[in-house]
């Protein structure tokens, strides 16, 4: 790690005192046991920070950065620590800036369909608050009951609804952010449109906390769809399931979710699925359509017919909301069970062009054989975002696993895809960045990083291999 992160000033007792004086002692955590909680996210990366600042105001964030830039110590922003790329792990030590307590929903404006929130608001809390006013905030990462809107914006999080509604970026109209210098900027708009100057708001979205710290977000809401209908279809194999996905979309249907599980996943969670026939199926699609009931009932029926035409052995409607919740619960259980059952577990989240999904998944058994790995694949078939969960029986073959991952990513790129659709690069995928980005693109992106953060104090050691 030392070759990627410059050295920084340690947080010695004098600096601790200066930070306490600047942000208030009640905002500082120095107790070792409590610090450990802030040293990890949902990955295996871990480093205990030297100090944690739990900000409740933007002024505290500014004060912290004024000190950090004058004394040159690193600061790593953190939402709720559910990231899957190691982005919130303080690799260089220093201070973790937790935004968890900046968690006010400032306003939900029904007439203008806008929410203004602080970054620590939990995604599900915003959804509930919007729903109370008949409005809908679509981004729905599977972690929605635990992750923060600030973290969602920093990683441009997505979920099943992306196929119809897009990612977090599509809902960020504007934001307020603190630069590593401590200056406060406003970016974007509070209106539905705006093209004044460069689009800084959307540059910060997806920048994984490496350019600035988001302290407020202005978000687009939409009217709440009146109904949701859920269909499940069982297929003999993944290839026919993926052909059905393409066919549904080509026929002009826009489901609000189009998820899949492969045979390996069905072996793990099939027992939880509330219907027959799973043991003989090779793949499973979970499809939803939302909107006006009179339109949706016809649409979901037609989608079911398309699945059967493409070879589905069964296509069933979820009879009630209880069964619907049960099916989504199964979908959520998949990654937990995979991780629990495998000594080696590497989650990748690649995206391939929709028409190439079938080709890509057809090649997975060959990779399994070549590298001695098992690849559980599931995810957002509707937008080509496949969660490849690469596992192995023993840590002794870690090198082969790494070769297998690289080979899978190379295939993704050869098909015109991308190596991460949701989780980001952080530290976990940093070594693969040059597979996808050209040296010119990396040079420009690093120059942008230096412009925002000339002293490299904000979240060092992330995205790009050399931080300076
Ligand atoms: C079970 C599980 C399921 C998941 N499912 C999905 C999924 O379906 N889709 C998906 O996209 N992701 C998913 N994730 C990953 C994760 O939940 C998302 O990346 C989420 O957006 C992270 O939010 P967080 O608040 O936990 O951020 P953290 O993990 O705390 O931080 C993530 C990154 O954002 C930066 N950051 C956080 N807050 C700010 C801020 N205010 N300003 C600037 N930078 C900031 C951090 O420095 C870090 O780089 C899943 C994770 C788990 C554990």
CATH of the domain at 32: 3.30.465.10
Domain total of the chain: 3
| 146 Cα nearest atom in ligand 1 | 26
How far is 198 from 195, CA to CA, in rounded Å?
A: 8
**Residues 48 and 173 grouped into a single domain:** yes
Q: Among 96, 126, 141, name the best residue to mutate to test ligand 1's pocket (greatest count of ligand atoms within 8 A of Cβ).
A: 141
Other C-beta atoms lying within 10 Å of the C-beta of residue 245: 27
Residues 6+ apart with CB under 8 A from 360: 352, 386, 411, 412, 415, 417
**Residues 388 and 409 grouped into a single domain:** yes
pLDDT of residue 339: 87
How far is 158 from 171, CA to CA, in rounded Å?
A: 11
Average pLDDT over residues 297-321: 92
CA of 397 to the centre of ligand 1 (A): 29
Does ligand 1 come within 6 angstroms of the Cβ of 77? Answer: yes
> Which one of 307, 340, 373 terminates a domain?
340
Q: Among 104, 150, 155, 331, name the best residue to mutate to test ligand 1's pocket (greatest count of ligand atoms within 8 A of Cβ).
A: 155
Q: How confident is the model at residue 288 (pLDDT cuts 50, 70, 90)?
A: very high
Whether 45 shows a pLDDT value over 50: the answer reads: yes
Residue 234 in any domain: the answer is yes
Torsion angle of alpha carbons 109, 111, 113, 115, nearest 10°? -10
Q: What is the pLDDT of residues 407-429, one digit of tens each?
A: 999 999 999 999 999 999 999 99
**Range of 355's domain?**
342-425
Does ligand 1 come within 6 angstroms of the Cβ of 75? Answer: no
> Which one of 308, 340, 372 terminates a domain?
340
pLDDT of residue 3: 46
**Residues 71 and 216 grouped into a single domain:** yes
CA of 78 to the centre of ligand 1 (A): 9
**Residues 270 and 350 grouped into a single domain:** no
Whether 93 shows a pLDDT value over 70: the answer reads: yes
Residue with tokens 């539905």: 192
Whether 178 shows a pLDDT value over 70: the answer reads: yes
**Residues 256 and 316 grouped into a single domain:** yes
**Residues 389 and 330 grouped into a single domain:** no
Q: Among 147, 153, 165, name the best residue to mutate to test ligand 1's pocket (greatest count of ligand atoms within 8 A of Cβ).
A: 147
Q: What is the pLDDT of residues 107-139, one digit of tens each?
A: 999 999 999 999 999 999 999 999 999 999 999
Does ligand 1 come within 6 angstroms of the Cβ of 151? Answer: yes
> Which one of 321, 340, 359 terminates a domain?
340
Share of the chain above pLDDT 70, in %: 98
How far is 60 from 30, CA to CA, in rounded Å?
A: 17
**Residues 229 and 183 grouped into a single domain:** no
pLDDT of residue 7: 80
Residue 432 in any domain: the answer is no
Q: What is the pLDDT of residues 193-221, one digit of tens each?
A: 999 999 999 999 999 999 999 999 999 99
**Residues 297 and 320 grouped into a single domain:** yes
pLDDT of residue 9: 86
pLDDT of residue 466: 64
Average pLDDT over residues 180-190: 97
> Domain with 387 in it: what CATH number?
3.30.70.2740
Average pLDDT over residues 28-55: 96
Residue 35 in any domain: the answer is yes
pLDDT of residue 395: 87
Is the CA virtual torsion 422, 425, 429, 431 positive or negative?
Answer: positive
Does ligand 1 come within 6 angstroms of the Cβ of 152? Answer: yes
| 119 Cα nearest atom in ligand 1 | 41
| 102 Cα nearest atom in ligand 1 | 41
Q: What is the pLDDT of residues 346-362, one digit of tens each?
A: 999 999 999 898 889 88
pLDDT of residue 4: 58
Residues 6+ apart with CB under 8 A from 384: 351, 352, 353, 354, 356, 357, 417, 421
CA of 132 to the centre of ligand 1 (A): 25
**Residues 390 and 306 grouped into a single domain:** no
Is the CA virtual torsion 447, 448, 451, 454 positive or negative?
Answer: negative
**Residues 104 and 114 grouped into a single domain:** yes
Whether 468 shows a pLDDT value over 50: the answer reads: no
> Domain with 322 in it: what CATH number?
3.30.70.2190
The mean of the pLDDT values for the chain is: 94
**Residues 199 and 258 grouped into a single domain:** no
Q: How confident is the model at residue 148 (pLDDT cuts 50, 70, 90)?
A: very high
CA of 170 to the centre of ligand 1 (A): 17
| 87 Cα nearest atom in ligand 1 | 49
pTM (2 d.p.) = 0.95
Whether 372 shows a pLDDT value over 80: the answer reads: yes
Residue 431 in any domain: the answer is no
CA of 152 to the centre of ligand 1 (A): 5
**Residues 231 and 167 grouped into a single domain:** no
Other C-beta atoms lying within 10 Å of the C-beta of residue 231: 20
pLDDT of residue 467: 46
């Amino acid at each position: 790690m030392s070759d990627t992160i410059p050295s920084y000033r340690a947080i010695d007792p004098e600096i601790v005192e200066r930070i306490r004086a600047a942000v208030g002692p009640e905002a500082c955590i120095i107790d070792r046991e409590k610090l450990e909680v802030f040293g990890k996210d949902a990955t295996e990366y871990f480093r205990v920070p030297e100090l944690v600042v739990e900000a409740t105001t933007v002024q505290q964030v500014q004060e912290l950065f004024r000190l950090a830039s004058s004394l040159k110590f690193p600061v790593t922003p953190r939402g709720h620590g559910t990231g899957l790329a190691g982005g919130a792990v303080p690799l260089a030590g220093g201070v973790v800036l937790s935004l968890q307590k900046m968690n006010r929903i400032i306003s939900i404006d029904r007439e203008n369909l806008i929410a203004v929130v602080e970054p620590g608001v939990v995604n599900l809390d915003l959804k509930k608050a919007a729903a109370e006013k008949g409005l809908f905030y679509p981004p729905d990462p599977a972690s929605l009951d635990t992750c923060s809107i600030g973290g969602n914006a920093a990683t441009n999080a997505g979920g099943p609804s992306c196929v119809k509604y897009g990612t977090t970026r599509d809902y960020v109209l504007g934001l307020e952010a603190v630069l590593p210098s401590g200056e406060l900027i406003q970016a974007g708009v509070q209106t539905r449109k705006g093209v004044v100057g460069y689009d800084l708001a959307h540059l910060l979205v997806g920048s994984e906390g490496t350019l600035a710290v988001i302290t407020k977000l202005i978000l687009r809401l939409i009217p709440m769809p009146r109904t949701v209908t859920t269909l499940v279809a069982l297929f003999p194999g993944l290839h026919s399931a993926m052909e059905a996905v393409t066919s549904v979309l080509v026929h002009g249907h826009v489901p609000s979710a189009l998820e899949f599980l492969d045979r390996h996943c069905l072996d793990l969670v099939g027992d939880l699925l509330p219907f027959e026939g799973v043991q003989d199926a090779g793949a499973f699609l979970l499809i939803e359509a939302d909107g006006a009931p009179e339109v949706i009932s016809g649409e979901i029926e037609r989608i079911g017919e398309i699945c059967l035409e493409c070879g589905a052995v069964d296509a069933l409607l979820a009879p009630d909301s209880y069964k619907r919740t049960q099916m989504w619960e199964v979908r959520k259980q998949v990654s937990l069970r995979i991780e629990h059952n495998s000594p080696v577990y590497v989650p990748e989240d690649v995206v391939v062009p929709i028409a190439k999904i079938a080709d890509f998944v057809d090649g997975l058994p060959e990779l399994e054989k070549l590298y001695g790995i098992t690849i559980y694949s599931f995810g957002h078939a509707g937008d080509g975002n496949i969660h490849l969960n690469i596992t192995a029986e023993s840590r002794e073959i870690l090198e082969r696993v790494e070769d297998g991952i690289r080979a899978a990513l190379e295939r993704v790129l050869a098909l015109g895809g991308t190596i991460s659709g949701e989780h980001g690069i952080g530290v976990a995928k940093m070594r693969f960045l040059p597979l996808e980005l050209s040296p010119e693109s990396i040079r420009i992106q690093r120059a942008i990083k230096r412009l925002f953060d000339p002293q490299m104090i904000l979240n060092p050691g992330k995205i790009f291999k050399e931080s300076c």
